[in-house]
Structure 1
């Protein structure tokens, strides 16, 4: 999808010029108009997945969610009515220039990260592989997009200034009752402390999204999701959310995985953003099923799962702030 010139006029604020070299095949420079729309939707809780300045099914789904919430026709396009609805948020610029500090660059890092679960179980954590991967997740994007946004930058360190998608939150005043390590994760992922409260959530396989609804059945947030597969279909029906496990360890049971390797043993994997369930596990009344994060945000909405509902780590963290034990979860085709 290529945003029109009308969109540029309607939702793009003037900012400092950004020098850009011709796009390389491996990392095309993101379209700032598209990126601006993605950033605004992400801010408003209609997650388009990875912020990459490209069109695609995740952006179409996010636009449809925003349109539904605003009472507009669900076209999935940046039409005139949608541009008018986006206009009040135009001050949220598509990119920001940040100075890397000690906390942003801090590890631990594990590189290479073994694929074998037995080897992973021996590690102290399933951490990011390198600083660039961590920074990409912090700013809801990919390493390739960060590279494309920063032509000529060949090395990053504490004190480096780089351009990133503008997901900086308005508030980091997190609930003081939350565990300190979880508050640190929320801050690292640039999750805003102010979130709507869910009355129930609806996982819609036909749209590939998870919807957050209030008590009046109004859509208040929506996230692109991966759900089920031919081997492990989405368990349709109504379930309850039991609670959330923050920065969880993962109990690997090969008996529950159709694609497990012969001879695999049960393993307890350490916590970390590159673990199989990412930074949070939201437990469901359906045994062995949950809503969780992922170590591969670029695959959300584009791959299959083992029946569970996968979100990007930042969206899963945000959802965890919206729900509580007893929240109903409806799964439909």
Structure 2
């Protein structure tokens, strides 16, 4: 049987704020870590050999889970990693192999038929400029309506925010654009 003494009570009372504070601090740290995990891109290492037999003209892997785009040059000497925006829902997410079929600097944007169906107030066309959702550069993929492009709305990067495309900061698509020749193979995972 434990004997309750004045000294043991005073010792417990003196230590209890630290015990409570420690538990509160641990809970706060856990909540902060969870919030950071949900709101940031969790980059992970990707190797092109896991997705392609050879580099060909170059290779791109767009990872919709980690919200990152990986690029390898045709000689394998250049590797670049860019944070991205990804499709807002699974229904809008297409996965698989495609390739870059066209490159446009200063693209115009035309909403897809399904976008206009969901939101009839969308304009028919948005010319190049600061209001264009495709940003400053666009890489057109062999899948109709799918692009890797810039965005003027920097809040979208690192989030599920697109209608199917992979978005990059304008500065980063400007960096990627000259590195990617038409014919570069792309895999969305």
TM-score tier, shorter chain, comes to: 0.5 to 0.7
| Residue aligning to 1:321 | 178
Return the match for 2:40 from 49, 57, 64: 57
| Residue aligning to 1:310 | 167
2:183 aligned with 1:200: no
CA-CA distance at 1:204 after TM superposition? 1.1
For 2:89 and 2:185, the matched residues in 1 are separated by 25
CA-CA distance at 1:239 after TM superposition? 0.3
Rg larger in structure:
2
Does the Cα contact within 8 Å between 1:225 and 1:311 map onto a contact in 2? yes
Does the Cα contact within 8 Å between 1:274 and 1:294 map onto a contact in 2? no
2:106 aligned with 1:250: no
User: Which SS does the other structure have where 1:257 is aligned?
Assistant: helix
| Residue aligning to 1:227 | 86
Does the Cα contact within 8 Å between 2:135 and 2:152 map onto a contact in 1? yes
User: Which SS does the other structure have where 1:240 is aligned?
Assistant: strand
- Count of matched residue pairs: 143
CA-CA distance at 1:260 after TM superposition? 3.4
CA-CA distance at 1:288 after TM superposition? 0.7
User: Which SS does the other structure have where 2:171 is aligned?
Assistant: helix
Seen in structure 2, the aligned counterparts of structure 1 residues 242 and 268 have a Cα distance that, compared at 3 Å, is same
CA-CA distance at 1:258 after TM superposition? 7.0
Return the match for 1:287 from 133, 144, 147: 144
With the length of structure 2 as denominator, give the TM-score of the two structures: 0.65
Seen in structure 2, the aligned counterparts of structure 1 residues 287 and 243 have a Cα distance that, compared at 3 Å, is same
For 2:117 and 2:160, the matched residues in 1 are separated by 15
Which structure shows the bigger proportion of residues in strand conformation? 2
Seen in structure 2, the aligned counterparts of structure 1 residues 201 and 223 have a Cα distance that, compared at 3 Å, is same
CA-CA distance at 1:245 after TM superposition? 0.9
| Residue aligning to 1:238 | 97
Unpaired stretches in structure 2, ≥5 consecutive residues: 1-38, 48-56
Seen in structure 2, the aligned counterparts of structure 1 residues 213 and 265 have a Cα distance that, compared at 3 Å, is closer
For 1:306 and 1:287, the matched residues in 2 are separated by 13
For 2:182 and 2:169, the matched residues in 1 are separated by 21
For 2:133 and 2:173, the matched residues in 1 are separated by 13
| Residue aligning to 1:261 | 119
Does the Cα contact within 8 Å between 2:60 and 2:185 map onto a contact in 1? yes
For 2:85 and 2:69, the matched residues in 1 are separated by 9
Does the Cα contact within 8 Å between 2:89 and 2:160 map onto a contact in 1? no
CA-CA distance at 1:266 after TM superposition? 5.6
For 1:259 and 1:306, the matched residues in 2 are separated by 13
Does the Cα contact within 8 Å between 2:73 and 2:179 map onto a contact in 1? no
For 2:159 and 2:117, the matched residues in 1 are separated by 19
